[in-house]
Amino acid sequence: MYQAIANAAFLILAGVLWRRLRPFGTDADQMRQSLTSLVYGFLLPALVLLVLWRAPLGVEALQVAFVAASCVLGGLVLAWAWFRLRKTSNPVLGTVLLAAGWGNFTYLGLPVLEGTLGEWARGVAIQYDLFAATPLLLTLGILLASRLGGTAAPRGLLRELVMVPPIWAAVAGVAFNLLGVPMNGWVQQLLEMLATGVVPLMLFSTGLALRWAPGLRRRIQTVVPVVLIRLLLIPLLVLGLTLLLGMEGPLRTAVVLEAAMPSMVLGLVLCDRFGLDTHLYAEIVVLTTALAALSLPAWFFCMGLIAS
Show the low-confidence residues of the chain (pLDDT under 50).
none
Domain boundaries, the chain: 2-18+27-207+219-303
- Which CATH architecture group holds 2-18+27-207+219-303? Up-down Bundle (1.20)
State whether residue 11 is helix, strand or coil: helix
Q: Write down the pTM of the prediction.
A: 0.85
**How far, in Å, CA of 308 to CA of 304, rounded?**
6
Q: Is 215 exposed, middle or buried (0-12, 13-18, 19+ CB in 10 A)?
A: exposed
Of the candidates 231, 213, 190, 188, the residue with the CA atom closest to the CA atom of residue 286: 213
143-178 pLDDT, tens digit per residue, is 899 889 877 656 655 566 566 788 889 889 999 999
State whether residue 183 is helix, strand or coil: coil
Q: What is the pLDDT of residue 206?
A: 79
Q: What is the pLDDT of residue 162?
A: 61
Helices (H), the chain: 2-21, 28-38, 44-54, 59-85, 90-101, 109-117, 121-128, 134-136, 142-149, 157-162, 165-179, 185-195, 198-209, 216-228, 234-245, 249-259, 267-274, 278-307
